[in-house]
Chain A
Amino acid sequence: MNLLPLATMLAGLILAPFLLGVINRTKAVFAGRYGSPLLQAYYDLGKLLRKGAVYSRTTTWVFRAAPVIGLASVVVALALVPISGTPASLSFSGDLVLFAYCLGLVRFFTVVAALDTGSAFEGMGASREVQFSALAEPALILGLAALARVTGSLSLTGIFSGMAGSTWLVAGPALALIAMALLIVFLAENARIPVDDPNTHLELTMIHEVMVLDYSGPDLAMILYGAALKLWVLGALIVNVLLSLLGLSGGAALAGFALGMILLAVVVGVVESVMARLSLLKVPQLLLGAGALSILAFVLIVRFTL
């Protein structure tokens, strides 16, 4: 049995929190600070795991189950994503739908648990999260559908092994549009600026952060780790699309992927440093724009491959 797919998945499990460190370091450099250590996310997780959890008396089993289910489904999503040519540990025809809805399941349980606490603020955050993700989902699904159309495969592994430099010659503009749409979805789904501010301290303006306010200890650690994995998983999609342009293979592809992920984290850091967060009313416009890009890419690809 080939161990490489499992090794890449393990790399994702281990390296995902490192991306958060890169993002924070980039922001620190922009602000002229020294910044927290690159491995800060690991220290945080370790600290949280050693602590005990506190549960509100209002909550039910849903609240306790949500972090576990969330982490489990994002790990399944991670298992579905190939890394630059290396096949994923798990792949079958149609797994891109499972991929999208694994992320949907994470969101569903985060929202349900937020409502379970009975806090008004968390309900507000849940409502916003659901509204924005309802707009981000078509962009993601249509983008993946366009990729499936151009490579003629319905599994993520098939899609990314079918893409090469020649695909860019056939449908270059469409692929660039898909990468742009995926980047917007990536920022929205991971609660980064310009959609949500991960550093905000005001419950009224939070989206994702407010939903996890009531968690503590190991539960919070699971949620933070799950968020880091989600960042890795969605980021891997973008890097895979862009990396297919170079047509690397073997060790060079893996090195290129690692470099691409770090570059993506730096880009996120730069975006967070130079942009203000959009007003809540403008966010649907941005997400609809991403959806429009995906539709345009899909139409173009249908036209090119006729």
Chain B
Amino acid sequence: MNLPIDTILVLLILTSFLLLGSSRLATCISIGALQGIMVGLLPLAVSGAGLTVRVAAIAAVIMALKGFVFPYLLSRALRESDTSREVQPFVGYAASLFVGVLSLLASFWLDHKLKLPVHATSDLVVPVAFTMMMTGLFLIVARRTAVNQVIGYLVLENGIYTFGLAIVRDIPVLIELGVLMDMFVAVFVMGIAIYRINREFDHIDSDRLNTLKG
């Protein structure tokens, strides 16, 4: 095994679990930022001694965006929306943690069954990526506030990125920057959406948008 890579991957799982268990939106945003920085460190750890300027630059951009810009945008949206600081889950925290553990077991089982054509950089990369994708999806479905859904989306994206890193290893710069650009726009648009939802309805509870249906 490779100690730095595996440590980062375990920390990624832990931050995902923390997101499932924490009740305050501000805490969730900071944990999401921490996870973003971990994901940014991952390409550095994977390339190890063969570090190129290109990989370092991509890692720096990822860390800057996911670790600082997105959290800043989200906390600004949270501050301006001036609503409840609580997550308001559909599924309770303990049950969410349980789902997280189940998705962890499912990912390891899935990875065991899935015969990937290429050899991953670490035995853990694929199951960790699956776990993050499932937790991200679960966060989007099981949380009421728009801010938390954005965080769920970011966790999902982190999972996909981790998976890509395991399989492709060397993603072309253009695609990488394109994906990051898309995410930036997405978070930006969602920030505006949160602001609009709040202005219109005095809350950011996306569940109540259902009442708009005729």
Contact = CB atoms under 8 A, between A and B. Distances in A.
Interface residues of B, number: 21
B173 interface: no
Interface stretch (B39-47, B57-65, B91-99, B206-214): B91-99
Contacts of A14: none
B97 A289 contact: yes
Main SS class of interface, B: helix
A93 B186 CA distance: 57
A288 B7 contact: no
Interface residues of A, number: 20
Contacts of B17: 289, 292, 296
Main SS class of interface, A: helix
Given A289-B21, A295-B101, A299-B104, A170 B10 contact: no
Contacts, number: 50
A285 B10 contact: no
Contacts of B127: 303
Given A172-B7, A285-B93, A289-B97, A303 B123 contact: yes
A190 B34 CA distance: 32
B53 interface: no
Interface string A264-290: 000000000000000000001100110
Interface string A236-261: 00000000000000000000000000
B97 A285 contact: yes
Given A285-B94, A289-B17, A303 B3 contact: no
A177 interface: yes
23 contacts: A170-B1, A172-B3, A172-B6, A174-B10, A177-B10, A285-B21, A288-B97, A289-B17, A289-B97, A291-B101, A292-B97, A292-B100, A295-B101, A295-B105, A296-B10, A296-B13, A296-B14, A299-B104, A299-B108, A300-B10, A303-B123, A303-B124, A304-B1
Given A172-B6, A177-B10, A289-B21, 18 more contacts: A170-B1, A171-B1, A173-B6, A174-B10, A284-B94, A285-B21, A285-B93, A285-B94, A288-B97, A289-B97, A291-B101, A292-B17, A292-B100, A292-B101, A295-B104, A299-B105, A303-B108, A304-B123
